[in-house]
Amino acid sequence: MAKHTLIAYVEDVPGVLNRIASLFRRRNFNIDSLTVGRTEQPGVSRLTVVVEATEAGARIVEANLYKLVNVLRVDDLTHKPSLFRELGLVKVKVTAQTRSQVLELTEVFRARVVDVDEATLVIEVTGTPEKIGKFEMVMRPYGIVEIVRTGAVAMARGHELMSAAPPLVPTAPVADHHHDSGLSMSV
């Protein structure tokens, strides 16, 4: 099992997010994160879904996404040169003694302080999900009051357009099949 990052372009109609979330629940896949936002095209939203799946499982997710009527196209960025970004806001406790240390670390992470009061700092940090995890880790000893993460968004590098091709289902024997139990699924 590994993390797979899928991009889906969907029609911006009521219930579309529900359909996608329902699909993952129904087919028993774990969503790591799901973000959604507008695109350059009116009426089209773009989703970034990070899902815990095997290679074969990821293909099945992709095929199932395509099966939804409102899904326009899907791309798996996992094995492509891509940019992954997430934004985190971290509210950290500070004292007169620790404030400078926290600011120093913030500098190291190229994060920004966006709010200050006498006992806390709110720091905005962007980067890969791993970087935000790291930042959270180094802040923890000072006392994290609150943390919020947007979940990852992703974009392929380079000038090639994303494929609008139908899902390519691999037909070579798949070793890491997503149903590891060979037992019948029902009674």
Partner 1 sequence: MKLTGAEIIWECLQKEGVDVVFGYPGGAILPTYDAMTKYPKIHHVLVRHEQGATHMADGYARASGKVGVAIATSGPGATNMVTGIATAMMDSSPIVCITGQVGSKAIGTDAFQETDVTGVTLPITKHNYLVTKPGDIARAIREAFYIAKSGRPGPVLVDITKDAQQMTAEFDWEAAAPRLPGYRPSYHAPASEFARAAELINSAKRPLILAGQGILKSGTTAEVLKLAKSAGIPITTTLLGIGAIPASSEFNLGMMGMHGEAWVNQAIQQADLLIALGMRFDDRVTGNLKTYALNAKKIHVDIDPTEINKNVPVDVALIGDLREVLELIQPQVKKAEHAEWWATINASRGDAAVRDIQSLPDSGHLYAAHVINDLWRLTQKRDTIVVTDVGQHQMWEAQYFRHEKPRSLITSGGLGTMGFALPAAIGAKFACPDKDVWVVVGDGGFQMTSCELATCEQEGIKVNVAIINNSFLGMVRQWQEFFYDKRYAATPMTGPDFVKLAEAYRLKGLRCNKRSDVKSTVAQTLAAKETVVIDFVVEKEDTVFPMVPAGADLDKMIRRPKQDVMLESGSDKDWEMPSSPLPNVFAEAKAEATVLNGRGKAAKSAKKPARKAAKPARR
Contact between 97 and partner 1 by CB under 8 A: the answer reads: no
Q: Which two tokens stand for residue 154?
A: 């992703």
Of residues 60, 90, 94, 125, which one binds partner 1 by CB under 8 A? Answer: 60
Compute the least distance from the CB of residue 27 to partner 1, in Å. 9
Count interface residues toward partner 1 (CB under 8 A): 37
- Nearer residue to partner 1 within complex by CB, 34 or 90: 34
The residue with tokens 């007169």 is: 96
Q: How far is CA 143 from CA 12, 57, 88, 117, 118, in A?
A: 40, 39, 16, 15, 14
Of residues 72, 103, 105, 144, which one binds partner 1 by CB under 8 A? Answer: 72
> Taking a C-beta distance cutoff of 8 angstroms, is the pair 23, 17 a contact?
no
Helices 99-108/129-139 angle, 10° precision:
160
Q: Which two tokens stand for residue 186?
A: 């029902």
Compute the least distance from the CB of residue 154 to partner 1, in Å. 20
Contact between 169 and partner 1 by CB under 8 A: the answer reads: yes
Helices 55-67/16-26 angle, 10° precision:
140
> Taking a C-beta distance cutoff of 8 angstroms, is the pair 2, 53 a contact?
yes
Compute the least distance from the CB of residue 18 to partner 1, in Å. 7
Compute the least distance from the CB of residue 25 to partner 1, in Å. 8
- Nearer residue to partner 1 within complex by CB, 161 or 183: 183
State how beta strands 120-127 and 82-93 pair.
antiparallel
- Nearer residue to partner 1 within complex by CB, 97 or 184: 184
Between CA 139 and CA 93 the distance in angstroms is 9
- Nearer residue to partner 1 within complex by CB, 20 or 132: 20
Binding-site ranges for partner 1 (CB under 8 A): 10-11, 14-15, 18-19, 22, 26, 56, 59-60, 63-64, 66-73, 166-167, 169-174, 177, 179, 182-187
